[in-house]
Amino acid sequence: MIRPVRTQNLGGARATILHRTHPTVQALTRQLVAIGLVVDQVWPELGPEALAADFIFFDTDMGYDAQFPWPARAAPMPMIALIGSEAPGRIEWSLQIGAHAQLLKPIGDNGTYSALLIARAGFDRHRALNAEVADLQKRLDQRQTVVQAVALLAARGKTEAEAYAQLRQMAMAWRVSFEDAANRVVARLGAEGKDDQRNQG
Amino acid sequence: MKRKIEIGMLYSRSSSYALIGEASRAGALAAVAAVNADPKLDLHLVPVERDPGGNADQYGPCCEQILRDTTARHVIGCVTSWSRKEVIPSLEKLGGTLWYPLPYEGFEASDHVVYTHACPNQHLLPLLDWALPAHGRRAYLTGSNYIWGWEINRLARSIVTAAGGKVLGERYLPIGACDVDRMIAEIRATRPDFVLNSLVGASSYAFLRAYHALGLVDPHFRAGSCPVLSCNLTECELPPLGEAADGLIAAGPYFQGVTGWPGPGQFASAHEAASYAAVRELARLLAHRPGVEILPLAALLAGAGGPIDAGTHHTALPVIIAQVRQGAFKVIQHRGTVPGDPFLTRAVPAATATLRVVS
């Protein structure tokens, strides 16, 4: 489902243009200021204050990895590539560094507003997907714990299916994820098991 | 000694929205006459007219003819946003400036356009800010099938839903189309608290006549309980509506009888007033500065002051809400002069969410 595009919060937002002094910067600044953003220009490196920017516009013609104070594709804000030479190598670099949208040079009278909205939508989507992937990854990592928890519950005279259902009920009752419930079960029953063994030993 | 300066005029005099074009053209010509008659101004403006005949694809070529075949660098005109967007590439290519004197949907700030009429923070936002508490939050949206209707209704939907209201229906007609039965049937079925009408020209007249007829058979659909609101209705379109105009509510920078803008004198409508103001402002910028008529817009506006913002090229305008009563607009609310905010980034939208419901 496509959600309505987010147009809010551009007023007073900070855009940093990573580009040497050039008419491109002037034209882009005019559009950004008309839209209501606060603009600064830096070259050749994004300083620590770049972390406070809400949008980064970066030059792909002269750009290189070391300009950015974060790893490739890990910018904490939307990034817009300023593309002059449409050579495949430069386009590839802009994607690899993490462009969410692009503007072609020479920059004229328009294009900036759509680049802002498209970059922000792309950034939001990447962030949401990354969070989802991280969550799924965590759950994958916990498969073994779930198997253990079901086995421990089944060892108390239940079928595997009943043990699985019981674990699900526990998760709902405790209002935690299935995997977190499995963690608790293993921590408790596993510990009891060890106690039992110690008592017997 | 007066300097002779050609200015372009781009109005469709034979389209389904010809009344709006004629009103705007009349204002521009009145301003040209006033400037030429003013002994204090060293200007004699010579209009160069082209008529695209209501065909959106003719606006670009007509504008290019003006800029290529005459010395005019400033063009006034275009009624629809569609036509404005069609001429911008010609203005960029040939170095011209369009003075666009009609209300529009915002989200534009071209280097080559001066926007001398209202954008949404000067019409739609104040109109809904007034209407939601006064009439309720259940809306039906209509519009002509192009960017003006689409964007006005998108904004209206976001404002109405943010205020806890509901959009009961949204329907469009191609420019010039008059088959309004489906809209009327949907409105009748959903019984909204108000209708927002962004149809233009003949479609709008057909819709308003049919809605008036509906009100005669079902009293809910009269102005007291379910008014029709508009961001572009002015006196120039009242004649074809006749009695069907009674009760219509509009937002705009001027209504007949309101003083203060655009200077002394009476105007037949806001469209006429805004075009008049545009040409007068152009004349003010050109007067006693020989040669500036060929400057790019940014250079012409630099340090010149006046009502046009040098960053956005939008104009500070009065915001007035008025209702048609016995054939003439009566002011309901005058909200003072408001700068244009085309991207809605400067001012916080009206706090409609906290308003109470009036049943």
Cβ contact A36–B112 (<8 Å): no
Distance between CA atoms of residues A98 and A56, nearest Å = 11
Do both B34 and B170 map to the same domain? no
Residues of chain B in contact with residue A12, where contact means CB-CB under 8 angstroms, are: 345
Write down the pLDDT at residue A189. 87
The residue-averaged pLDDT of B115-144 equals 97
Domain that holds residue B20: 3-118+262-317
Which residue of chain A is at minimal alpha-carbon distance from B311? A34
Quick check: is B96 in a domain? Answer: yes
Alpha carbon of B342: minimum distance to chain A alpha carbons (Å): 8
| Domain boundaries along the sequence of chain A | 14-137, 142-200
Distance between CA atoms of residues B98 and B113, nearest Å = 5
Cβ contact A11–B346 (<8 Å): yes
Which residue of chain B is at minimal alpha-carbon distance from A13? B345
Write down the pLDDT at residue B351. 39
CATH number for the domain spanning B85: value is 3.40.50.2300
Tell which of B94, B309, B345 to mutate to test the A interface (max A CBs under 10 Å).
B345
Residues of chain A in contact with residue B158, where contact means CB-CB under 8 angstroms, are: 4
Task: Kindly state whether B311 is in contact with chain A, defined as any CB-CB distance less than 8 angstroms.
Answer: yes
**Dihedral sign (CA A147, A148, A150, A156):** positive
- DSSP letter at B12 equals -
pLDDT tier at B348, thresholds 50, 70, 90:
low
Average pLDDT over chain B, rounded to an integer:
94
Alpha carbon of B343: minimum distance to chain A alpha carbons (Å): 6
Quick check: is B193 in a domain? Answer: yes
Alpha carbon of B346: minimum distance to chain A alpha carbons (Å): 6
Residue B9 has pLDDT above 80, yes or no: yes
Task: Kindly state whether B264 is in contact with chain A, defined as any CB-CB distance less than 8 angstroms.
Answer: no
CATH of the domain spanning A14-137, picked from 3.40.50.2300, 2.140.10.10, 3.60.21.10, 3.40.50.1820: 3.40.50.2300
**Chain centroid offset of residue A167 CA:** 31
Alpha carbon of A128: minimum distance to chain B alpha carbons (Å): 23
Cβ contact A36–B110 (<8 Å): no
Task: Kindly state whether B346 is in contact with chain A, defined as any CB-CB distance less than 8 angstroms.
Answer: yes
Q: Tell me which long-range contacts B65-72 makes (C-beta under 8 A, separation of at least 24).
A: B66/B8, B66/B10, B66/B96, B67/B8, B67/B91, B67/B94, B67/B95, B67/B96, B68/B94, B70/B6, B70/B8, B71/B5, B71/B6, B72/B5, B72/B6, B72/B7, B72/B8, B72/B48, B72/B96
Write down the pLDDT at residue A163. 93
Give the tens place of pLDDT for each residue, B218-245: 999 999 999 999 999 999 999 999 999 9
Do both B31 and B171 map to the same domain? no
Given the DSSP bridges, would you call strands B113-115 and B228-230 parallel, antiparallel or unpaired?
unpaired
Write down the pLDDT at residue B140. 98
Write down the pLDDT at residue A162. 93
List the structure tokens of A32.
């950004």
Task: Kindly state whether B218 is in contact with chain A, defined as any CB-CB distance less than 8 angstroms.
Answer: no
Task: Kindly state whether A114 is in contact with chain B, defined as any CB-CB distance less than 8 angstroms.
Answer: no
Distance between CA atoms of residues B225 and B214, nearest Å = 13
Cβ contact B312–A30 (<8 Å): no
Which residue of chain A is at minimal alpha-carbon distance from B158? A4
Which residue of chain B is at minimal alpha-carbon distance from A37? B345
Do both B156 and B228 map to the same domain? yes
**CATH number for the segment(s) A142-200:** 1.10.10
Complete edge-to-edge strand list for the sheet that includes strand A79-83: A38-42, A14-18, A55-59, A79-83, A101-104
Which stretches within chain B are classed as H helix? 18-37, 56-69, 81-94, 124-135, 147-162, 181-190, 201-217, 270-286, 297-301
Residues of chain B in contact with residue A10, where contact means CB-CB under 8 angstroms, are: 343, 345
Distance between CA atoms of residues B193 and B202, nearest Å = 25
Distance between CA atoms of residues A81 and A57, nearest Å = 6
Alpha carbon of B108: minimum distance to chain A alpha carbons (Å): 8
SS3 annotation, B138-195: EEEEEEECCHHHHHHHHHHHHHHHHCCCEEEEEEEECCCCCCCHHHHHHHHHHCCCEE
Residue B268 has pLDDT above 90, yes or no: yes
Write down the pLDDT at residue A2. 60
Do both B175 and B242 map to the same domain? yes
Write down the pLDDT at residue A193. 66
Least confident range of A151-160, B149-158, B268-277, B325-334: A151-160
The residue-averaged pLDDT of B148-158 equals 95
Considering only residues B354 and B93, tell me which one the structure prediction assigns the higher pLDDT: B93
pLDDT in tens, chain A (201 residues): 566 777 878 999 999 999 999 999 999 999 999 999 999 999 999 988 899 999 999 999 999 999 999 999 999 999 999 999 999 999 999 999 999 999 999 998 889 999 999 999 999 999 999 999 999 999 898 999 999 999 999 998 889 999 999 999 999 999 999 999 999 999 998 877 665 554 443
Residue B358 has pLDDT above 80, yes or no: no
What ipTM did this prediction achieve? 0.77
The total number of structural domains in chain B stands at 2
